Chains A and B, each alone.
Chain A
Amino acid sequence: MIQHLIKLIWNRKGSHLLLIIEIWASFMVLFGVMSLVTFNLDNYRESLGFEYEQVWAIDLSRNQDTVQTAEKLAQVLQRIKAYPEVEKVSQMSSNSPFSFSQMNSSISRKKTSTLSDIYYTDENFEDVFDIKMKSGRWYQSSDSVAKNKPVVINQKTADALFGTENPIGKTLDDNKVVVGVIDNFKAKGEFTKNEPAFFQLMWPRSEEGKIVLKLKSGTDANFEAKLVKDLGSMLVGWTVEVSYLTDQRQNQHNLALVPMIVFTIIAGFLLLNVAMGLFGILKVNIAKRREEIGVRRAMGATETDIQKQFVAEMWVIATFAILVGLLFAVQFPTLKVFDLASGVYWVAIVLAILIIYGLVTICAFYPSRQAAKIQPAIVLHES
């Protein structure tokens, strides 16, 4: 029967061409949207690698002040630690998690190198973000006097530079020594990829960057106001800005979610258009093919056979469109376009195919049912 339907559709390809193009276009858009969704969801399933609840980032800007800035900063750190609301404090470079700031550099070892995000932090960074060590340890302030500067890397960097070797105690090309390995570190939020990360002891303490602090639960905006006021009086002429990491995380999420939502809406409209087109074309088709339906019923087709035929015809049309779409879609995983894992594209292809077939089935169901109810004696007499 399928062979018969393929022949029938092929012989009517001229009248189905527009529909095939429309389904093809929907497939391509769906493939794009599904790739984006699959990529983001795949990332989302991977843990961040750190805790951000109750963590604030304080951005201090010296402006024109050049007098004893290091001392002032040390006093500020001491003051912040003294608040009963504050659990942990750390100083780090400006690229704190969820900020829109990034620093990266090529890290190399022997003949291997990887582009890695670089974070300069003090010894308390691990505690503020509750980072779990996978192996080794976090660096200490006492490490500042070591001959080889200690660094912590994430597993992604370890995989790139050391493969299956244990990186602990190994030296990099610039004589820095790996003292610890952590698992993930997704500083741009759950929807982003787990990129290679590299942590280095900030020594001597910089007067730039940020202070990150972990607060006790229940700490609210009143404390923020008090903190800003206190710091403002200690750092005259400086700019003090406090950000909640939960808010910054939401901003990062929006960056990933907005394109997904926009493309999903576009795909939704396109699918609605296809659905209406399919529905209309089938209704017209059935009206034009009443005689054929009558003949088939006379030749032994049951109501179910007729209904199945019209649904199957739509599947055949959809299959033609999908096959053309696949010629384009399979280039993406094959050529690893946009540097995404090929699995993302394969999943997107499968999802797009399922959605197209689902849509076609839903649209074809009602008109096909009407076709099945046509009385053969009446239509044969009419024609």
Chain B
Amino acid sequence: MITLNNIEKVYQTSTIETLALNNINIDIKKGEFVSIMGPSGCGKSTLLNIMGLLDEPTKGDILIDQKHVEQYTDKALASLRNQKIGFIFQSFHLINDLSVLDNVEIPLLYRNSSAQFRREAAREALEKVGLSNRMKHFPNQLSGGQKQRVAIARAIVGKPDIILADEPTGNLDSAMGNEILNILLQLNAEGCTIVMVTHDESMAKKTHRLIRLFDGTQVY
């Protein structure tokens, strides 16, 4: 589903060159639930951004469904992100001036779908994460766990094949964290491929496979 070959990422400023990722080779299979672990600053989020086509590697190949995407235009990459990938972030990244329902609709705004379809799909996604009673609320009226469930609804509203979750439980207490993990496990059981960055060993153990990074290098 996602294949990374010899990925290298260097951040360069006028004075300093930082090697964020070095010789990363990963193959994520369809239906897998993979977790990525490693100490802070080891390149986990950078790796996830590269997988999610939000960032470009300095070297190496990215294949999504066996297709090289290095030469894709901005429009083609955006379309791929929109159709195939759902993102969940540690700090939720909800738009505070939009209601829960409107936040969830966002990925569908970038498709040619009718307002009615968007509304229905957003309701369905919110029902799936157990937030159908909070549709008219605004993000600042919700708890952290509820916000993350809204973010999950937003990630799944477009029925993507892959979900990339960057420390989705990082800002939550353990009960809320487990709730979110259960939702992700449920989505995976329904066929969604999930790659999750986490610091929590116990959560990583519940996934199919663990990738460890250290100083930008894949340990195993």
Write the residues of chain A forming the contact surface with B, with a CB cutoff of 8 angstroms. Answer: 1, 3-4, 7-8, 11-12, 291-292, 294-305, 375-377, 380-381, 383
How many residue-residue contacts, CB under 8 A, span A and B?
Answer: 68
CA–CA, A305 and B75, complex, Å: 10
**Do B75 and A383 have beta carbons less than 8 Å apart?**
no
Q: Enumerate 23 A-B pairs (CB-CB under 8 Å) in ascending A order.
A: A4-B102, A4-B105, A4-B109, A8-B95, A11-B98, A12-B97, A295-B95, A297-B81, A299-B81, A299-B82, A299-B106, A300-B83, A300-B107, A300-B158, A301-B78, A304-B75, A305-B110, A375-B55, A376-B54, A377-B49, A380-B54, A380-B93, A383-B91
**Closest partner residue, chain B, to A10 (CB atom):** B97
Contact partner, A295, options B55, B102, B105, B106, Cβ 8 Å:
B106
Shortest Cβ gap from B102 to chain A (Å): 6
The answer to whether A303 and B52 touch (CB under 8 A), given A11-B97, A294-B93, is no
CA–CA, A376 and B54, complex, Å: 6
Contact partner, B74, options A3, A295, A302, A383, Cβ 8 Å:
A302
Contacts of B111 in A (CB 8 A): 300
The answer to whether A300 and B115 touch (CB under 8 A), given A11-B97, A11-B98, A380-B93, is no
The answer to whether A298 and B52 touch (CB under 8 A), given A8-B97, A291-B93, A380-B93, is yes
**Do B75 and A302 have beta carbons less than 8 Å apart?**
yes
B45 within 8 A of A: yes
B33 within 8 A of A: no
Classify the secondary structure of A's interface with B: helix
**Do A296 and B45 have beta carbons less than 8 Å apart?**
no
**Do A299 and B154 have beta carbons less than 8 Å apart?**
yes
Contacts of A305 in B (CB 8 A): 78, 110
CA–CA, A294 and B166, complex, Å: 14
**Do A300 and B49 have beta carbons less than 8 Å apart?**
no
CA–CA, A296 and B106, complex, Å: 7
Give a binary string over B124-162; 1 marks a CB under 8 Å from any A CB, 0 the rest. 000000000000000000000000000000100010000
Contacts of A296 in B (CB 8 A): 106, 110
Contacts A7-B102, A300-B81 given; 10 further ones with Cβ under 8 A? A1-B109, A8-B95, A8-B97, A297-B78, A298-B54, A300-B158, A305-B110, A376-B54, A380-B89, A381-B45
Shortest Cβ gap from B2 to chain A (Å): 16
Write the residues of chain B forming the contact surface with A, with a CB cutoff of 8 angstroms. Answer: 45-46, 49, 52, 54-55, 74-75, 78-79, 81-83, 87, 89, 91, 93, 95, 97-98, 102, 105-107, 109-111, 115, 154, 158
Shortest Cβ gap from A329 to chain B (Å): 30
CA–CA, A201 and B202, complex, Å: 112
The answer to whether A302 and B89 touch (CB under 8 A), given A1-B109, A292-B95, A380-B54, is no
Contacts of A1 in B (CB 8 A): 109
Shortest Cβ gap from B72 to chain A (Å): 12
CA–CA, A1 and B106, complex, Å: 9
Contacts of B55 in A (CB 8 A): 375, 377
**Do B98 and A298 have beta carbons less than 8 Å apart?**
no
Contacts of B87 in A (CB 8 A): 298-299
CA–CA, A305 and B81, complex, Å: 14
**Closest partner residue, chain B, to A9 (CB atom):** B97
Contacts of A377 in B (CB 8 A): 46, 49, 54-55
**Closest partner residue, chain A, to B76 (CB atom):** A302
Contacts of A376 in B (CB 8 A): 54
The answer to whether A295 and B97 touch (CB under 8 A), given A4-B105, A301-B110, A305-B78, is no
The answer to whether A302 and B97 touch (CB under 8 A), given A3-B115, A297-B54, A383-B91, is no
**Do B93 and A295 have beta carbons less than 8 Å apart?**
yes
**Do A300 and B110 have beta carbons less than 8 Å apart?**
yes
Interface centre among A292, A294, A302, A305 (most CB of B within 10 A): A302
CA–CA, A295 and B139, complex, Å: 15
Contacts of A300 in B (CB 8 A): 78-79, 81-83, 107, 110-111, 158
Contacts of A4 in B (CB 8 A): 102, 105, 109
CA–CA, A300 and B80, complex, Å: 7
Contacts of A7 in B (CB 8 A): 98, 102
CA–CA, A12 and B75, complex, Å: 29
Contact partner, A8, options B78, B79, B98, B115, Cβ 8 Å:
B98
**Closest partner residue, chain A, to B164 (CB atom):** A298
**Do A302 and B78 have beta carbons less than 8 Å apart?**
yes
Contacts of B81 in A (CB 8 A): 297-300
CA–CA, A377 and B97, complex, Å: 22
CA–CA, A381 and B89, complex, Å: 10
Shortest Cβ gap from A85 to chain B (Å): 77
